[in-house]
Each structure stands twice: as structure tokens, then as C-alpha cells.
């Protein structure tokens, strides 16, 4: 079973020592679609998401930034040499349902500032997945920031 960041939507979490980044598997497109379909079926469930548990610190995460509105932490299965997530403390299920423009702007500014802190001076990619067709695997808004290598296009 391939462990990917998206697998955490099912509550799976297998820590891999940071000294072994090359042994962290990449997600396949099939895994991503399957997990997004599973997550969309659970959408609206009262159960806390894996990211809500990161916010309340009931599960560990490598947090690299936090303030009163959001936090940023390293992805459990990075898809680039640098891969972190920025999430709001208050769960917003999907960006298409977001209403707080100030919070959305704050999340992007934090993504930019943490990218600078992580020395992503050559550039980086910012990704937000929304809904089943967008392969959203956790229904708690999260911004992926990927960098440290040349990105290709199209992404998926």
C-alpha cells in the first residue's frame, strides 16, 4: 500500500524519518482519484479531519509556522524537495465554500513568507484542490506549496 499525503484523509499516518526523503513514495494518479472519491463520500461528516487534529495537536506534525489564524507544516509524503501545507485553524471544508476574504489572503501571504523562509528563491508551486474532481482528499482547506526543483506542466 503506497502511503501518500492524500492517504491521510483516511486517518493513515506513517512517519518516515526526514533522513530518508528518497524513500518516500510518490502518489499515483489512481491513488489520488480513489482517495478523493472516498473523501467526497465522507464530506459533511461531523468527525474531525486529520488537519483538525494537527491544529489541536492531538497528532504530531512538523510545524514550521503558526499564528492565531493558521499554521504551516511539512507534508508527510512530500512530492517535491520542499512540500508544506498551510491550513486555517478554523476548518473551511472547501475553497469554493470560503467566505472570509481576509483569511484567504492571509493564508496566501503566509504561504509566500514560509516559502521565503524555506529558501524557495527560484520559485515554487501553490496548489489548492477543491472537491472530488479537483482530487481534494481532506475536506479542510489546505494550500500545498511545492518547490526545490523544476516543476513541469501540465500537473495532472
Report CA-CA distances (Å) from 41 to 46, 77, 113, 115.
13, 23, 35, 33
C-beta separation of 84 from 5 below 8 A: no
Residues assigned a catalytic role? 142
In the predicted model, is pLDDT for residue 30 greater than 90?
no
In the chain, how long is the greatest CA-to-CA distance? 41
Chain center to CA of 35: 14
Lowest-confidence pick of 11-25, 33-47, 51-65: 11-25
pTM of the complete model:
0.76
In the predicted model, is pLDDT for residue 38 greater than 90?
no
Handedness of CA 61, 51, 111, 24 (dihedral sign): positive
What ranges do the domains of the chain cover?
Answer: 5-147
Q: For the segment 11-20, what is each residue's pLDDT rounded down to a tens digit?
A: 434 343 343 3
C-beta separation of 110 from 86 below 8 A: yes
DSSP conformation class of 134:
T
- The average confidence (pLDDT) of the chain is 83
Q: For the segment 100-123, what is each residue's pLDDT rounded down to a tens digit?
A: 899 999 999 999 999 999 999 999
Under CATH, domain 5-147 is a member of which superfamily?
HIT-like (3.30.428.10)
pLDDT confidence bin for 72, thresholds 50/70/90: very high
Amino acid at each position: 500500500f503506497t502511503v501518500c499525503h492524500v492517504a491521510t484523509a483516511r486517518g493513515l499516518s506513517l512517519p518516515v524519518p526526514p533522513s530518508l526523503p528518497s524513500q518516500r513514495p510518490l502518489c499515483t494518479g489512481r491513488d489520488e482519484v480513489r482517495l478523493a472519491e472516498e473523501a467526497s463520500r465522507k464530506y459533511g461528516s461531523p468527525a474531525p479531519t486529520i488537519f483538525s487534529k494537527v491544529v489541536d495537536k492531538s497528532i504530531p506534525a512538523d510545524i514550521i509556522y503558526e499564528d492565531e489564524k493558521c499554521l504551516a507544516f511539512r507534508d508527510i509524503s512530500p512530492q517535491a524537495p520542499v512540500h508544506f501545507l498551510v491550513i486555517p485553524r478554523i476548518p473551511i471544508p472547501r475553497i469554493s465554500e470560503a467566505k472570509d476574504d481576509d483569511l484567504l489572503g492571509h493564508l496566501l501571504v503566509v504561504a509566500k513568507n514560509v516559502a521565503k523562509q524555506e529558501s524557495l528563491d527560484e520559485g515554487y508551486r501553490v496548489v489548492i484542490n477543491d472537491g472530488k474532481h479537483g482530487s481534494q482528499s481532506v475536506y479542510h482547506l489546505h494550500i500545498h506549496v511545492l518547490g526545490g526543483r523544476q516543476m513541469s506542466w501540465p500537473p495532472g
